[in-house]
């Protein structure tokens, strides 16, 4: 297998890992005003992701770095064309990270409410805009013969991409609700479980519409098969949330995200960024990649360090696997 294909697959794996792990972080932040009826319950919700949220964002950093090193043409066109939405995502992630760190520095109610709003918006904005961005990548954007983006911000706000944004918002919110039901006990667990069952009924038609639209436009056999698996996993999550099997429900929502990302990348291949103007202008794994020597060095670095990162992050989740309850939060 060519190294360009290997790195395309690895970047897909990195994005899948990021959406799987950061997805429930976003969901918890979005649900903070809903499930956090008072300060202690909001602290309980935040504490479920407190030990892991920053580690989950490492997947984004590595995905961005790997794209820059392995496919510099893709990186340049993507970040120049999607500059405003990616900037908004970056600002939202920064504000959210600051909110996690500063919320507990003072005891004032207005102080904490302000940072809670930052956590909410810092989770909501990326949850929508990541779907919009990848919807545009899959649909194709105006790229000229010099592989430069020649559209504007309005080009990115098309119906297909906006539906992609609603899909990621719905899936991440459901993923977060199931995670809260899995990681808490007592009233929060029951309320999160009931909310997850209601959210699943909203997520199913939105995600089904996006996957169906994608399949009808692209007609990729493997992509359609993975989309069907994603839909089946999501339907399984609906049933599992209703019978309160939180562990299996979280596995099902996670599988939905993984299958959906896999379907996206398989449908995209061998392109990395199609042009809506002319197929001859498409960025592919061949014309957007780095030199073979660069890819070879990157491969050895990945082989050496990736297991270390995975072991460390797995150890973190194992250490903090215990359910939390309201009595664990001091008044």
Mapping DSSP onto H, E and C, the string for 305-321 reads HHHHHHHHHHHHHHHCC
In the chain, what is the straight-line distance between the N-terminal and C-terminal CA atoms, in Å? 58
Q: How much of the chain, in percent, has pLDDT values that exceed 90? A: 42
> What mean pLDDT value characterizes the chain?
89
- pLDDT tens string 119-156: 999 999 999 999 999 999 988 888 888 888 888 888 88
In a domain? residue 330? no
| Six-digit token string for 25 | 């972080």
Whether 132 and 164 have beta carbons less than 8 Å apart is answered as: yes
Confidence at residue 313, expressed as pLDDT on a 0 to 100 scale: 87
Confidence at residue 244, expressed as pLDDT on a 0 to 100 scale: 82
- pLDDT tens string 169-219: 999 999 999 999 999 988 888 899 899 988 988 998 998 899 888 888 877
Number of C-beta neighbours around residue 148 at 10 A: 13
In a domain? residue 299? yes
In a domain? residue 331? no
pTM of the full structure: 0.92
In a domain? residue 67? yes
What band does 256 get if pLDDT is binned at 50, 70 and 90?
very high
Place of tokens 């491969």: 299
- pLDDT, mean of residues 11-17: 93
Number of C-beta neighbours around residue 12 at 10 A: 18
In a domain? residue 12? yes
Q: How many domains does the chain have?
A: 1
Beta-bridged to residue 275, according to DSSP, are: 141
Q: List, as one string, the DSSP characters of 205-265.
A: HHHHHHHHHHHHHH--HHHHHHHHHHHHHHHHHHHHHHTT-HHHHHHHHHHHHHHHHHHHH
In a domain? residue 328? no
What is the span of the domain harbouring residue 68?
Answer: 3-323
Confidence at residue 1, expressed as pLDDT on a 0 to 100 scale: 62
CATH of the domain at 125: 1.20.1630.10
Confidence at residue 157, expressed as pLDDT on a 0 to 100 scale: 87
Confidence at residue 106, expressed as pLDDT on a 0 to 100 scale: 82
Enumerate residues 6+ apart whose C-beta is below 8 A from 241: 178, 181, 193, 196, 197, 200, 249
């Amino acid at each position: 297998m060519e190294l360009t294909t290997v790195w395309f697959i690895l970047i897909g794996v990195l994005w899948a890992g990021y959406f799987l792990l950061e997805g429930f972080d976003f969901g918890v932040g979005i649900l903070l005003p809903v499930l956090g009826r008072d300060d202690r319950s909001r602290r309980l919700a935040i504490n479920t992701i407190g030990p892991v949220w920053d580690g989950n964002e490492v997947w984004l950093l590595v995905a961005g770095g790997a794209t820059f090193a392995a496919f510099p043409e893709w990186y340049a066109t993507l970040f120049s064309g999607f500059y405003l939405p990616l900037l908004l995502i970056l600002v939202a992630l920064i504000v959210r990270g600051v909110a996690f760190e500063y919320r507990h520095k003072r005891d004032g109610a207005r102080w904490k409410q302000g940072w809670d709003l930052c956590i909410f918006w810092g989770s909501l904005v990326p949850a929508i805009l990541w779907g919009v961005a990848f919807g545009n990548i899959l649909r194709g954007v105006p790229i000229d013969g010099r592989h430069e983006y020649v559209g504007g911000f309005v080009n990115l706000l098309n119906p297909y991409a906006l539906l992609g944004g609603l899909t990621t918002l719905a899936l991440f919110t459901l993923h977060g609700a199931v995670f809260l039901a899995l990681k808490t006990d007592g009233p929060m667990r029951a309320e999160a479980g009931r909310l997850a069952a209601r959210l699943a009924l909203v997520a199913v038609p939105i995600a089904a519409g996006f996957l169906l639209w994608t399949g009808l436009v692209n007609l990729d056999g493997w992509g359609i098969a993975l989309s069907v698996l994603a839909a089946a996993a999501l339907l399984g999550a609906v049933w599992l949330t209703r019978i309160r099997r939180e562990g299996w429900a979280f596995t099902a929502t996670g599988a939905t995200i993984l299958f959906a990302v896999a379907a996206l990348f398989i449908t995209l291949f061998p392109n990395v960024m199609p042009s809506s103007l002319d197929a001859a202008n498409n960025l592919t794994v061949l014309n957007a990649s780095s030199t073979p020597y660069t890819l070879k060095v990157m491969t050895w670095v990945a082989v050496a360090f990736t297991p270390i990162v995975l072991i460390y992050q797995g150890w973190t989740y194992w250490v903090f696997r215990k359910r939390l309850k309201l009595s664990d939060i001091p008044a």
